[in-house]
Structure 1
Amino acid sequence: MSTKKRRIIEAAGTVPYRFTESGELRLCIIHRPRYDDWSWPKGKLAAHESHAHAAVRETAEETGYHVRLTAPLAEVSYVLGAQDADVPTAGIKNAGSTKHVFYWIAEVLPHNRIQERKDTFAAPLQSTPEETDRMRWVSLEEALELLTRTDDKNLAFACVQRLNEGYTQARTLLLARNGQGAEKKNWPEENLRPLTPRGAAQAYALGAELSCFLPERTYAFAERRCIQTAELAGQNPHILLPQAEQPRGTHTNAPQNAAERRVSEALSTVLEYLLTDGSQPRCAALLASAQQLKTMNTLLTDVCANEETQHALEDALRVKKYLTPGSGVSITLVPVHAHATSWQITDVTKVTPLVF
């Protein structure tokens, strides 16, 4: 007997957090009058939208808060009710599609960065009061009491556990490939190759994805196509020029040749800013060529927390198969100890803009 395959509806959401003046953790939950339930802000992907973009947009619409994605949290799937009502169902004949939701841990943006988000997000961000009639910042205990679904309660536990494990200090390193460049045969000087019109579109789309993480600083290698990609993505890049001296205090494996040394120097510069700068930045981006990203894959191996993370990084930075022009990788770094003297990569997520 054949069974009808359920349609999968892609969605994304966040578990937003903040601390009170006395240092107490609070999580943001919403009430939806249509279903009379308490849940996390989330929603379906719009046409030509990524999970990360949808998570930030839906959070702004349902809570009125602009957030920055800090780390992936979990993926949740459940079967919807009849006519795809957003009510998990089990064993019901008229059950609808399967909803797959990707959740991030998210922090509320400070007011002085909201305009920057609006300028680079490439979509309007406005609240939708008809979808949610109440929003509350609650403790873990209150969240567990109010949240309707077991899956949402599990997300609360998972989020708080990660925050207690050092994710409140997490840093995000965004590694992105330049948009499509002009053909090599027409440009004898490799460094001067510009973007093609398609590459420019890829760079613009990348800007909306970077906005979800909102880097405090963006770096770019000196190749013209890398600089153009950063600029069209709405960033004001710090240009990384080759250094004559050996890198100091690098967190990576030893480079073997001049090209690798250049990449190692650049990566050390970005990591030094991200992990030790006194301004305590939360995110930094680096625009690089395909070959440079391949080298970074090797250099970052020893920083991974475990073999699973190492394989995820290797897969994500596999240029020919996955990392197409104008796409990238979000890397979460968390301190190994409370004093943050050493860091490790705990999560790797692909950043894939949708160019249409």
Structure 2
Amino acid sequence: MRTTEHLEENVAEGSYASVYAAGALCWRVKKKKLEVLLIHRQRYDDWSWPKGKLDKGETLPECAVREVYEEVGLPITLGIPLPSIRYAVKPGLKEVHYWASSVDDMPAMADGKEVDAVLWCSPNKARGLLSNPSDVEPLEALVAAHEAGSLSTWPLIIIRHAKAKPRSAWTRAEGERPLAATGKRQALYLQRLLMSWHPGRVYTSGWMRCISTISPYAQATKAKVKVVSWLTEADHKRQPAKVEAVLEKLMTRNSATAVCTHRPVLPTVLDTLAKHMPDDMAHSLPYLDPHLSPGEVLLVHMSQEIPGRIVALEQHKPFED
């Protein structure tokens, strides 16, 4: 399972790579054959994948989407995560995170600045053209997923609400407890992060801290929001089986969907998800309390070819002051 964090602190401390970047392997199936999109950069005279450096305050998924649009004009939605690669650069070590992205027949066009040519080709031809040998690793993962029938997916996004005011400092109804100042900033950060998958529907607990967490995204995108009482702490405590039923129904939707709920509800959510994935994947679920931090996201990639089958997981850390 891929885990991403707010990386600026890590870069400053030098605990990881010196340079972070992100991109995507755009793919399509034409005449029943898999094709991938390569770019040629005149500055380096090399063939590679669309990618670029992380901007300050940007999430890795945001960076991947932005770079693909800037370099080849494709407004992508991210699919399954692919292996990240590392290689030496002048500042030290560069780490590039990749996702697969289905683009069907959308036209790609070189930006004429960094990129002077684009090429759709077979994976075999791409192996021969790629200038950086490490770029082959995400390609092999993409091909393996295609052969396994797990490349075409849709995202189910589980969100723990952003940081709320402490229970000890709140004297009114628990369902009215609002977000703390940090939580409000986490909600804005979450708005940008979710744009990488564009969930058209959001299912949420009706308690204020959940509603406030998803409001910036819903207002920015006009996503449809449905309040589900079983996702509150109180209703889940009375009938946890109702949460399982909600999740089971959502896993049949076949379209990008987000769910916002509370820490005490997450064990039931995770147990339900575990039934739809291989055991080794289930072992990587965040079962230890608190499961997810306030504002953290667990992204589940559901197979389009095999309904109800989970083929990949991602975990995205929240914004921290």
TM range (shorter): 0.7 to 0.9
1:295 counterpart residue number: 268
> In 2, Cα distance between the equivalents of 1:242 and 1:152?
45
Match of residue 71, structure 2, among 41, 62, 65: 62
What letter matches 2:41 in structure 1? R
Q: Deviations over 1:255-314 (max 9, x none)?
A: x9624223223222322323xxxxxx2x2111111211233123322222132x122212
* Structure 2 residue matching 1:213: 3-state secondary structure: coil
Match of residue 57, structure 2, among 42, 45, 48: 48
2:259 counterpart residue number: 286
Relative to structure 1, the CA distance from residue 195 to residue 154 in structure 2 (aligned partners, 3 Å threshold; closer, same or farther) is: closer
2:314 counterpart residue number: 349
> In 2, Cα distance between the equivalents of 1:27 and 1:242?
43
Relative to structure 1, the CA distance from residue 305 to residue 5 in structure 2 (aligned partners, 3 Å threshold; closer, same or farther) is: closer
1:228 counterpart residue number: 212
2:11 counterpart residue number: none
* Structure 2 residue matching 1:10: 3-state secondary structure: strand
Task: Verify: 1:32 aligned to 2:41, yes or no.
Answer: yes
Task: Verify: 1:76 aligned to 2:91, yes or no.
Answer: no
1:115 counterpart residue number: none
What letter matches 1:302 in structure 2? K
What letter matches 1:138 in structure 2? C
1:138 counterpart residue number: 121
CA contact (8 A) 1:169 1:334 kept: yes
1:260 counterpart residue number: 240
1:324 counterpart residue number: 293
When Rg is computed on C-alpha atoms for both structures, the one with the higher figure is 1
What letter matches 1:301 in structure 2? A
> In 2, Cα distance between the equivalents of 1:271 and 1:306?
18
CA contact (8 A) 1:48 1:355 kept: no
What letter matches 2:228 in structure 1? L
2:133 counterpart residue number: 150
What letter matches 1:230 in structure 2? I
Aligned residue-pair number: 297
1:241 counterpart residue number: 229
What letter matches 1:303 in structure 2? H
1:201 counterpart residue number: 185
Query: Percent identity at matched positions?
Result: 27
Task: Verify: 1:271 aligned to 2:254, yes or no.
Answer: no
* Structure 2 residue matching 1:273: 3-state secondary structure: coil
> In 1, Cα distance between the equivalents of 2:257 and 2:298?
12
What letter matches 2:315 in structure 1? K
Q: Deviations over 1:190-212 (max 9, x none)?
A: 22222233322211110111111
> In 2, Cα distance between the equivalents of 1:29 and 1:155?
13
Structure 1 unpaired stretches of 5+:
85-95, 112-126, 244-255, 275-280
What letter matches 2:119 in structure 1? R
> In 2, Cα distance between the equivalents of 1:289 and 1:6?
31
* Structure 2 residue matching 1:31: 3-state secondary structure: strand
- What TM-score, normalized by structure 2, do the two folds share? 0.82
CA contact (8 A) 1:50 1:352 kept: no
Q: Deviations over 1:34-83 (max 9, x none)?
A: 11000001122111122211111111111111111110110111112xxx
What letter matches 1:102 in structure 2? H
1:104 counterpart residue number: 99
What letter matches 1:352 in structure 2? K
> In 2, Cα distance between the equivalents of 1:163 and 1:7?
30
What stretches of structure 1 move > 6 A for 4+ residues in a row? none
Q: Looking at both structures, which has the greater relative contact order when contacts are Cα pairs under 8 Å and sequence separation is at least 6?
A: 2
What letter matches 1:289 in structure 2? H
CA contact (8 A) 1:31 1:134 kept: yes
What letter matches 2:34 in structure 1? L
> In 1, Cα distance between the equivalents of 2:202 and 2:104?
18
> In 1, Cα distance between the equivalents of 2:95 and 2:289?
27
CA contact (8 A) 1:50 1:353 kept: no
Relative to structure 1, the CA distance from residue 109 to residue 231 in structure 2 (aligned partners, 3 Å threshold; closer, same or farther) is: farther
Structure 2 unpaired stretches of 5+:
1-13
* Structure 2 residue matching 1:237: 3-state secondary structure: strand
- What TM-score, normalized by structure 1, do the two folds share? 0.75
* Structure 2 residue matching 1:69: 3-state secondary structure: coil
